Amino acid sequence: TRTDYALRPGVSESWEKSGVISVYMTVDPDSIKKCDIRQSVDVCGHRFQDAYGNSDFYEIRGWVLFHRHDTLRYKKGVLLERNGEYILFRCPDMYREDTAEAFPKERHAGMSGFIARIDSRVLERDALYTVQPVLIRGRNKIYKGEDACQIRTI
């Protein structure tokens, strides 16, 4: 149920049917830069199934924007860290009317939403991961903020 942002009745969002992500890339810690990133993770947990037939995945959903930069110039991703190793999952964009209203001076703030549905088979079982939304520019420029959350796999 989508309750944390404005709905557009009768309009199917592309992210709703985006499926489960099983492709990721390992990341060199030197390519990650801390910046003035504004972010929030609204959902971070395991899902057994969704309405679109996806099953056994971790859903991470929220928004991320780079203060005083055009959000559309960056791809969104979720960075998971465990024992000093980083893995990156790219995410489809998700429109967020609440973010557009909260940051009216930020260019394209409404397009700051993201959703990652990560196949549970890709992550190590019974492990604790630090989760951060990130912005990606080019092939190896990853920007993150200060805030992070954690998820324990089952």
CB of 144 closer than 8 Å to CB of 32: yes
In whole angstroms, give the CA distance from residue 125 to residue 15. Answer: 26
Residue 124 is given by DSSP the state P
List the end-to-end C-alpha distance of the chain, in Å, as a whole number: 23
Q: Which has the closest alpha carbon to 15: 115, 136, 133?
A: 115
What's the pLDDT tens digit per position in 101-133?
Answer: 999 999 999 999 999 999 999 999 999 999 999
Q: What is the pTM of this model?
A: 0.85
pLDDT by residue (tens digit) across 68-92? 999 899 999 999 999 999 999 999 8
